[in-house]
Structure 1
Amino acid sequence: MSHITLFTDILPEEQERMRVCFQARELVFKNGEIVMEYSSTMHKIGLILYGRATLYCCDKDGNQYMIDELKKDAVFGEPFLLPADSQHYYVKAEEETKVMFIDYEHVIKRCEKACHHHSQMISNLLQMTALQSRQQMQRIYILSRATTRKKLLAYLNGLSVEKHSCKIHIPMSYTALAQYLGVDRSAMTRELKSLEEDGIVAKEGRDIVFPYRLNS
């Protein structure tokens, strides 16, 4: 599936009309600010215009888990992940981040003119939802691996397949990666070193090279 954004195949002038029609709001968040807290109903969709944010989950015991990293053109909101009552989901800015908010009701409710660009946006949204669902299934697969080493290998293999390359760059800090994998950072660091010593990977910073596709 090619890279899809909310405004793929929608002309700039049509995008401006949609901003007005959908009563879009653009807000800038500082590093560490809460961008959005999820509710049990589908109220709004957020689109990252620039910057970087993270989607977190906090369970009833107060344990916090990183769910996803959100960069430019990423879309988030209840329609993509309807929260369970026992869990709290929220998005936090990791640097200065500008977000466009659109009311979900304006997206699903067709206007009287039945504009082509409205139909195109819904098509884009459905494709992005399908892609995020696939990514979440990959995440579940990774987390289901029995050991830190297997989780790490599953993640690296998935990244290699996604990039169609044996040379990959981990797109987050190692601390964030440990959170993403649900493992202890020190244990993950030891496994990375072990993979190097076993000749499976070569590592420089967050750049990883391996000579063949890894099996998890």
Structure 2
Amino acid sequence: MENIELLRECSLFKGMKDRQIESALRKLGATEKKYRKNSLLITKGQKEMQLGLMLEGEAVASQDDVWGNKYMVSEVKCGQTFAEPYAAADMPSNIIVQAKGICRVLWLNVSKINFAGNDPVLLLVTSNLLQDMAFKLLNLNQRLTHISKQTTQEKLLSYLSAQSEEAKSLDFVIPFNRQELADYLSVERSAMSAELSKLVEGGKLKTRKNRFTLYP
């Protein structure tokens, strides 16, 4: 079937054979939808949520406050799932998910998992979904560790140190450009750039685009 190679690599279908994936898609009422650049995949307050799986393109999940300020929550890349907690708990969304470019999304009605019983296919999906949500919770906790630091420089050093540990190297590439990194750390881009310059001048790191080398 179309998209089967991508779905094999998706964490939601980890360890499943093609026929099991196809069966899961039928049982979860999978529907595919295409979106234009800047289209909203999910709106704030949206009800009857479904789990989204990005088949093509990228999107940004964000929240806003009563003054209209927008804060990035996470990025959604090809092969990744999103909106899991809202879909699983059948709760209205408090986030906005917006396409960065043309996107194709596979929507899955995971509320049907509640009636899975002993269905072996849906039990596999449930196990994978729980692991995926746990992994994202760990990532969220790590981000909170970074942004809880007092200064912009401390936030930067906390994040870059964690990336270095994950890469098991003092030379590594981060998944963000400068604006995305500023959004992730909840700081002003200009202030962050100034702190990066100070760190470079102080001999603590070297950077080119999204590649960093640390000098402890």
Compute the TM-score of the two structures, normalised by the length of structure 1.
0.86
Distance 1:187 1:77 in 2: 32
Which residue is equivalent to 1:120? Answer: 124
Q: 1:40 offset after TM fit, Å?
A: 7.5
Decide whether aligned partners of structure 1 residues 80 and 210 sit closer, same or farther in structure 2, where only a CA change above 3 A counts: farther
Which residue is equivalent to 2:108? Answer: 102
Indicate if the aligned counterparts of 1:53 and 1:70 stay in contact, CA closer than 8 A. yes
Q: 1:61 offset after TM fit, Å?
A: 2.1
1:162 aligns with 2:136: no
Compute the TM-score of the two structures, normalised by the length of structure 2.
0.86
Which residue is equivalent to 2:190? Answer: 186
Q: 1:101 offset after TM fit, Å?
A: 0.7
Distance 1:139 1:62 in 2: 23
How many residue pairs are counted as aligned between the two chains?
206
Q: How does 1:6-17 map to 2 (within 5 A)?
A: 6-17=12-23
Q: Secondary structure at the match of 1:6?
A: helix
Decide whether aligned partners of structure 1 residues 88 and 80 sit closer, same or farther in structure 2, where only a CA change above 3 A counts: closer
Distance 1:64 1:159 in 2: 25
Indicate if the aligned counterparts of 1:45 and 1:103 stay in contact, CA closer than 8 A. yes
Distance 2:48 2:154 in 1: 36
Distance 1:53 1:162 in 2: 24
Q: Deviations over 1:54-79 (max 9, x none)?
A: 11011122110001011122211151
- What letter corresponds to residue 161 of structure 2 in structure 1? N
Q: Percent identity over the alignment?
A: 28
- What letter corresponds to residue 97 of structure 2 in structure 1? V
- Structure 1 segments, 4+ long, off by >6 Å, are none
Distance 1:33 1:11 in 2: 33
Indicate if the aligned counterparts of 2:53 and 2:82 stay in contact, CA closer than 8 A. yes
Indicate if the aligned counterparts of 2:84 and 2:133 stay in contact, CA closer than 8 A. no
Q: 1:24 offset after TM fit, Å?
A: 0.7
Whichever structure has more helix as a proportion of its residues is 2
Q: Secondary structure at the match of 2:11?
A: coil
Q: 1:170 offset after TM fit, Å?
A: 2.1
Q: 1:15 offset after TM fit, Å?
A: 1.0
Q: Secondary structure at the match of 2:159?
A: helix
Decide whether aligned partners of structure 1 residues 135 and 207 sit closer, same or farther in structure 2, where only a CA change above 3 A counts: same
Structure 2: 5+ residue stretches without partners: 1-8
Distance 1:130 1:32 in 2: 29
Q: Deviations over 1:144-181 (max 9, x none)?
A: 10000011111111222222222221212211211111
1:32 aligns with 2:38: yes
